[in-house]
């Protein structure tokens, strides 16, 4: 299996950024995005991320793939938030008639609810796409090195970056299993009926989890056998250094964040 499934090689502007800058970007976005209170700011941030994707030199189908992956959770979040969020301006009358005890009168969709749902989903989309942009453009060992240079112990840094890589790793593995099942005429995942698909998930998850645990064991053995966990300071064949472009990016990002917060509050 491809343990580097998340990384896509390239020489674009985002690829060449110092990993520390990218880690800082992820940290800042994690703090700022949830603070955004207006839909138009969230949309502007999403557009900024999309623009960054477009100028990153990556094929756009990669972003398309991630969007496809996210559409389910986005749709779910939108519907749930729209229904549950309280508001004054009703657009759709309560789904549950008032005569029903306890939950009667609930489930109306209001203007405020729609706006809030839009805010939540656009924020999530912007944050997720930004994270994916970073992981796709950063080879895992540079990520680790970045965290180490930021002061983390190597083993902790390695664990964190491996965890980051878990999603693409599991995705690749899941695709493999589904392909194998499809080859044996198992078609539950192609059915329209979501219930039928739900019922098929144990058949995917069981081999996925067992396989992942087996591979993790093997990988741990392989790593230990090559001196992972040696005492003393570890060295690296690659080095990272902050260059002018990195500082320019840091400056621009800071300005951008300040502007966002200024408009927001």
Using CB under 8 A, which of 99, 193, 225, 244 touches other proteins? 225
Find all residues with CB under 8 Å of 92, minimum gap 6, and list them: 108, 109
| Rounded least distance, CB 152 to other proteins, Å | 16
Give 177 or 188: the residue with its C-beta nearer to other proteins: 177
Sign of CA dihedral 163, 16, 134, 57: negative
Give 115 or 176: the residue with its C-beta nearer to other proteins: 176
- In the region spanning residues 165 to 224, those forming contacts with other proteins, defined by CB under 8 A, are 214-215, 218-224
> Which of 156, 160, 130, 135 lies closest to 19 in space, CA to CA?
135
Cβ-count burial of 64 within 10 angstroms (0-12 exposed, 13-18 middle, 19+ buried)?
A: exposed
8 A C-beta contact, residue 33 and residue 45: yes
Element containing residue 208 per DSSP (H, E): helix 194-224
| Rounded least distance, CB 46 to other proteins, Å | 29
Tell me the three state secondary structure of residue 91. strand
Using CB under 8 A, which of 187, 191, 206, 230 touches other proteins? 230
DSSP 8-state symbol, 151: T
Find all residues with CB under 8 Å of 218, minimum gap 6, and list them: none
**# residues near other proteins by CB under 8 A:** 32
Give 201 or 236: the residue with its C-beta nearer to other proteins: 236
Greatest alpha-carbon pair distance for the chain in Å reads 72
- In the region spanning residues 37 to 96, those forming contacts with other proteins, defined by CB under 8 A, are none
Cβ-count burial of 235 within 10 angstroms (0-12 exposed, 13-18 middle, 19+ buried)?
A: exposed
Compose the 3-42 pattern: x for residues touching other proteins by CB under 8 A, - for all others: xx--x-x---------------------------------
DSSP 8-state symbol, 1: -
Give 118 or 240: the residue with its C-beta nearer to other proteins: 240
Give 3 or 256: the residue with its C-beta nearer to other proteins: 3
| Rounded least distance, CB 227 to other proteins, Å | 4
| Rounded least distance, CB 53 to other proteins, Å | 21
Q: Is 139 in the site for other proteins (CB under 8 A)?
A: yes
Contact residues toward other proteins (CB under 8 A) are 1-4, 7, 9, 139-141, 214-215, 218-238
């Amino acid at each position: 299996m491809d343990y580097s499934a998340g990384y896509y090689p390239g020489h674009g502007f985002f690829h060449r950024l110092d990993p520390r800058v990218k880690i800082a970007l992820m940290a800042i976005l994690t703090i700022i995005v949830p603070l955004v209170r207006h839909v138009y700011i969230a949309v502007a941030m999403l557009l900024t991320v999309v623009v960054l994707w477009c100028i990153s030199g990556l094929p756009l189908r990669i972003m398309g793939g991630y969007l496809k992956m996210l559409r389910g959770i986005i749709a779910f979040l939108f519907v749930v938030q729209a229904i549950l969020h309280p508001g004054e301006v009703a657009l759709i009358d309560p789904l549950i008639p008032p005569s029903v005890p306890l939950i009667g009168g609930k489930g109306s969709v209001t203007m405020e609810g729609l706006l809030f749902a839009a805010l939540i989903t656009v924020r999530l989309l912007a944050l997720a796409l930004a994270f994916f942009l970073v992981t796709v453009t950063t080879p895992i060992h540079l990520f680790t090195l970045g965290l180490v240079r930021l002061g983390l112990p190597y083993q902790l840094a390695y664990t964190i970056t491996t965890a980051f890589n878990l999603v693409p790793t599991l995705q690749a593995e899941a695709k493999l299993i589904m392909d194998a099942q499809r080859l044996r005429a198992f078609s539950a995942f192609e059915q329209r009926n979501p219930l039928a698909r739900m019922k098929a998930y144990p058949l995917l998850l069981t081999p996925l989890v067992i396989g992942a645990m087996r591979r993790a064991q093997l990988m741990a053995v392989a790593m230990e056998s090559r001196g992972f966990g040696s005492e003393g300071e570890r060295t690296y064949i690659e080095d990272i250094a902050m260059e002018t472009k990195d500082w320019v990016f840091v400056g621009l990002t800071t300005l951008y964040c300040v502007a966002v917060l200024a408009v927001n509050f």
